[in-house]
């Protein structure tokens, strides 16, 4: 990489994607080259049991890093795992199946140059978006976003699109606090971020190519999304869990720093005493 800190780190999670990941990695790289800035692409193999990791590594581009772990943990876990090692000043999340045109990242990164925003997120409801997906999913999406507006301070009409770009500070603050790893992960990120003042969210148009077969909805997934959403609201509004957790982590960091400073001081005093004796 040409710079120590690239402009943007793109994290893309994948599970058992050996049949498409090589082509899609190349497509993402091609889109990111339009930025004219440094970048890195982090492919996170979320417990894949096929040749996904090997196929991604076979692309052979030094700007690509491939991470893997043995057990599938869900998209949220994979995104946080990749974000934890990202070097970019901006951190982008992009679904590896490329339902969303990867050039979204280019437009989103450019938006940070012009507006004081904390996040730029893809939105199916943006008037310039090009979307084509089953009516039943539109219905569920509309109902879910209505629930979101009732429960949270999130300034977005669509929280669930798998294409987002964040300021690094947002990820570093919010990431360690998140609990949801699957269904309502995107919502939890934005809802908790708003609670910590990262509420400058800009929606951007997307080109959505719906690639799932059939138009059915997994009713268990819908139920889990509903339950997770209510749990997030409970932790924010009733228990104030995220704020308390943040304070606890801060105290832990301060304690570790104090212990480290004390250890260094003790070592310096010992060296001084040894010098006097000699």
Distance CA 107, CA 129 (A): 13
Mean pLDDT by 10 residues, the chain (278 residues): 76 97 98 96 97 97 97 95 97 95 95 94 92 78 90 92 96 96 92 96 89 58 92 96 96 88 63 54
Owner of token pair 């077969």? 213
Q: Is 155 left (phi over 0), alpha (psi -120 to 50) or beta?
A: beta
Q: Note the pLDDT of residue 222.
A: 87
pLDDT at 40: 98
Q: What Cα–Cα distance (Å) separates residue 199 from each residue in 30, 44, 152, 204, 251?
A: 31, 27, 11, 15, 25
* Per-residue pLDDT tens over the stretch 216-232: 457 888 899 999 999 99
- pLDDT of 215: 39
* CA separation for the pair 35, 22 (Å, rounded): 21
- What CA–CA distance (Å, rounded) separates 68 from 180? 20
Q: What is the pLDDT of residue 176?
A: 95
Cβ atoms of 83 and 75 within 8 Å: the answer is no
**Helix (H/G/I), strand (E/B), else coil: 182:** coil
Nearest to 181 by CA among 224, 122, 121: 224
What integer pLDDT is reported at residue 1 of this predicted model?
Answer: 43
Residue-level pLDDT at 142: 86
- Alpha helix (H) residue ranges in the chain: 21-32, 52-57, 75-83, 103-114, 135-151, 168-174, 185-195, 219-233, 241-277
Q: Which of 138, 140, 148, 186 is nearest to 164 (CA)?
A: 186
Instruction: Work out the angle at residue 79's Cα, subtended by the Cα atoms of residues 1 and 151, and round it to the nearest 5 degrees.
Output: 135
């Amino acid at each position: 990489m040409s710079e120590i800190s690239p402009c943007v780190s793109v994290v893309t999670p994948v599970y058992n994607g050996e049949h498409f990941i090589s082509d899609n990695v190349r497509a993402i790289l091609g889109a990111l080259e339009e930025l004219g800035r440094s970048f890195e692409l982090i492919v996170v193999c979320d417990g894949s049991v096929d040749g996904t990791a090997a196929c991604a590594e076979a692309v052979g581009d030094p700007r690509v890093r491939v991470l893997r772990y043995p057990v599938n943990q869900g998209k949220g876990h994979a995104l946080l795992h990749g974000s934890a090692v990202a070097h970019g000043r901006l951190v982008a999340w992009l679904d590896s199946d490329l339902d969303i045109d990867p050039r979204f990242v280019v437009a989103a990164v450019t938006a940070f140059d012009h507006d004081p925003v904390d996040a730029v997120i893809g939105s199916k409801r943006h008037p310039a978006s090009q979307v084509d997906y089953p009516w039943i999913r539109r219905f569920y999406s509309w109902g879910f976003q209505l629930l979101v507006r009732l429960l949270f301070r999130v300034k977005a009409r669509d929280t669930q699109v798998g294409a987002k770009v964040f300021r690094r500070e947002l990820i570093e603050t919010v990431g360690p606090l998140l609990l949801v790893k699957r269904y309502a992960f995107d919502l939890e990120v934005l809802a908790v971020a708003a609670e910590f003042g990262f509420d400058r969210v800009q929606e951007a148009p997307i080109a959505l190519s719906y690639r799932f077969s059939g138009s059915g909805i997994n009713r268990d997934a819908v139920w889990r999304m509903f339950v997770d959403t209510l749990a997030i609201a409970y932790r924010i509004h009733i228990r104030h869990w995220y704020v308390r957790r943040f304070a606890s982590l801060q105290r832990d960091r301060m304690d570790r720093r104090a212990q480290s400073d004390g250890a260094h001081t003790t070592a310096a005093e010992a060296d001084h005493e040894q010098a006097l004796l000699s």
